[in-house]
C-alpha cells in the first residue's frame, strides 16, 4: 500500500473511532489508542477502575465503530485497567483520546 493510501486509511479509522466515542467517554477513561497489527485494527481502552457501565460503553463504542465500516474490517479491542503510569507508545500507534493526568 502506498503512503498516501495508508495515511487515508489511518485517518478514516481515527475519524470513525472518534465518532463512535462521542458522548461515551467518562472520567474513568484514561486513554484510547488505535494501532494496527498486520491487517487487524486494535483499539486499546485504558481505564482507571473496572466500572461495569464503562465496559458497557466500550462494547457500544466497538459496535458503533464497526457499523461505520465495510464488512471486511478486522478489528479487536482490549480493555486495560490500571492506575499506574500510562505506557509509552510506538510511533505507529495513534492516541485518539487521553485525559490530563
pTM, rounded to two decimals: 0.93
pLDDT at 70 over 90: no
Number of structural domains, the chain? 1
Range of the domain at 17: 3-98
Dihedral sign (CA 20, 22, 27, 32): positive
Return the CATH number at 50. Answer: 3.30.300
Neighbouring-strand partners of residue 44: 33, 78
Q: Is 67 helix (H, G, I), strand (E, B) or coil?
A: helix
pLDDT at 11 over 90: yes
Amino acid at each position: 500500500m502506498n503512503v498516501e493510501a495508508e495515511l487515508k486509511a489511518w485517518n478514516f479509522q481515527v475519524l470513525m473511532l472518534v465518532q463512535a466515542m462521542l458522548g461515551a467517554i467518562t472520567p474513568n477513561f484514561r486513554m484510547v489508542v488505535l494501532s494496527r497489527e498486520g491487517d487487524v485494527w486494535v483499539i486499546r481502552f485504558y481505564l482507571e477502575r473496572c466500572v461495569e457501565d464503562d465496559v458497557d460503553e466500550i462494547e457500544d463504542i466497538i459496535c458503533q465503530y464497526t457499523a461505520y465500516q465495510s464488512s471486511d474490517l478486522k478489528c479487536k479491542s482490549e480493555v486495560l485497567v490500571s492506575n499506574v503510569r500510562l505506557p509509552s507508545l510506538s510511533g505507529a500507534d495513534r492516541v485518539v483520546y487521553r485525559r490530563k493526568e
